[in-house]
Structure 1
């Protein structure tokens, strides 16, 4: 045992830093989760929670300026892709002409889908302000603009929310048109 003013044997600054780097590298892999738990092209979207959980998300059920909707992707065999918290999807609908030009290909009639996990420290995005058209994270008050591809409007988050491309399916049902654009989770690109 080290006395006051002496270092513990085998524990120097470099060892501590290298241990922290190794721990973070291992944790980064844990953030990603298995690829098959994330939404995939061809999945349909269903309501995640509440009395209507499991029902298909349709354009008719998403009025312009309505509430934030939490959804989950379901594969063609009917299996919900929810093995990772990073598969959490949030949907909002704005007027189609309010969706940024570079984001219109990923939206359907003003409906945009984004990762429901804040890029700052991984808290859940759960706020939606109708007037400012911003999503918010209540942990540290970051705000995001869904119509602009999840761009950060107010920090501390510095990186946008990943976008999930959408397609219109039969009967106005919303379908996944591709994987997340950007990595879901804290430190997302």
Structure 2
């Protein structure tokens, strides 16, 4: 039923209904996201993400220089694992502290570097680590990254560096998150 001036009698026109529906959907999506869907936050502790020791705290003693790549998960102070988003994947490697450029040392603990585990090229999971060349690699398209140099791309096709997760030392040599990822996790432009 049309009122004077072409407006609907009860104030509902097609545009209002569509805008309202979009707003409701957006609000509902936000309401469903919980702490497990968030990226790592300052104050979270790191635990092992896979293997027989999954869920145990990551400690400096458990990360020898020259050791393997370690997948970690951030756990908030209430004990909720932040693994609801694939962009919260964390890769830890440990190199000799003197191999880390001075401008990157503030984000590391005793040579331990944390970076996003998602390749910035097309979003594949980073799975390779060569300690001799100090490079992480993505086997999807063979991009290589230098975690000790702020996640810098060493070999493309990726053009964007891996985001770095600042670390802090917790009680008993455990590793804690000292701040948000530096850079946006996931694939994207250079």
* Consecutive unaligned residues in structure 1, runs of 5 or more: 1-32
If you compute each CA radius of gyration, which structure gives the higher value, 1 or 2?
2
1:160–1:188 Cα contact (<8 Å) kept: no
2:120–2:186 Cα contact (<8 Å) kept: yes
Task: Name the CA distance, whole Å, in 2 between partners of 1:156 and 1:83.
Answer: 28
Match of 1:174 in 2: 175
Match of 1:113 in 2: 114
Match of 2:85 in 1: 84
SS at match of 2:80: coil
Q: How far has the Cα of 1:160 moved from its partner? A: 0.3
Match of 1:157 in 2: 158
TM-score, normalization: structure 1? 0.81
SS at match of 1:120: coil
Task: Name the CA distance, whole Å, in 2 between partners of 1:87 and 1:38.
Answer: 5
* Count of aligned pairs between the two proteins: 157
1:182–1:188 Cα contact (<8 Å) kept: no
Match of 2:61 in 1: 60
2:130–2:136 Cα contact (<8 Å) kept: yes
Task: Name the CA distance, whole Å, in 2 between partners of 1:79 and 1:57.
Answer: 16
Q: How far has the Cα of 1:130 moved from its partner? A: 1.6
Match of 2:72 in 1: 71
Per-residue CA deviation, residues 116-173 of structure 1 (Å, 9 max, x unaligned), is: 0000000000000121110000000000001101000000000100000000000000
SS at match of 1:125: coil
Q: How far has the Cα of 1:37 moved from its partner? A: 1.6
Q: 1:188 to 1:70 in 2, by over 3 A?
A: farther
Per-residue CA deviation, residues 75-95 of structure 1 (Å, 9 max, x unaligned), is: 000000011000000000000
Task: Name the CA distance, whole Å, in 2 between partners of 1:48 and 1:54.
Answer: 6
2:159–2:189 Cα contact (<8 Å) kept: no
1:144–1:154 Cα contact (<8 Å) kept: yes
Structure 1 stretches of 4+ with a deviation exceeding 3 A read 33-36
Task: Name the CA distance, whole Å, in 2 between partners of 1:118 and 1:126.
Answer: 10
Task: Name the CA distance, whole Å, in 1 between partners of 2:152 and 2:34.
Answer: 26
Task: Name the CA distance, whole Å, in 1 between partners of 2:115 and 2:130.
Answer: 16
